[in-house]
Amino acid sequence: MSKRINDTELRKQQILRSARKVFMEKGFEEATVDDIAKEEGVVRGTILYHYKSKACLVEAVLEEDGRKMELLLDSFLSRHEIPVRERIDRIFALCETYFSGDRREAEAYAKDRERVRFLTDQMRLKNFYVQTRELTALLEEGVRSGELSLRDPKAQAASTVFAVFGVVGADIGQESFKRELKSIKEKLLTDKR
């Protein structure tokens, strides 16, 4: 058994790390709370104290991944000293890198592909409005600075975020995924007033 940890957040992070490892090895359906407890070196009750069920653990793992992406996006969006087009390029490069890993992880859950897709879509929908609002602000900044000439930054931000989410969830190969991301970015940047 592992040492007792009184820091609740640290323990929860360690449990999530162990859960992610077990999910990757066994898939969501085959993994059990007991497997995660064994990996973490704690009793089953410790896992269930922090996460009421395996389903809650699955959601927590996926939400943590989403938060990591949000932090990375925020770091680009708030860098006003960097030109808007360059920030957009960086955001799409980040999406390609991040979601390529997301797609590889989803492949590891092959037996549970539909369940994983459903859960990740739910997480993305939770973030849709926030990410749309942030991209809208960036596009409006680009219009004000003269870097971009867009008809409707808000509509274009919404359609862009929606398109990216759609491509991420599509069952397409890696090269097609990259090509579609590039196409979405080009459409965003070339839609003139």
Domain ranges of the chain: 8-50, 61-190
Q: Which CATH number fits domain 8-50: 1.10.760.10, 1.25.40.10, 1.10.10.60, 1.10.3720.10?
A: 1.10.10.60
Q: What is the arithmetic mean of pLDDT over 165-184?
A: 87
Question: pLDDT tens-digit profile of 79-135?
Answer: 889 999 999 999 898 888 877 765 556 555 556 667 667 777 777 777 788 889 999
**pLDDT higher at 77 or 3:** 77
Q: Which fold has domain 61-190?
A: Tetracycline Repressor; domain 2 (1.10.357)
Question: pLDDT tens-digit profile of 46-72?
Answer: 999 999 998 888 888 877 877 777 777
CB contact set of 32 (below 8 Å; sequence gap of 6+):
54
User: Is pTM beyond 0.75 here?
Assistant: no
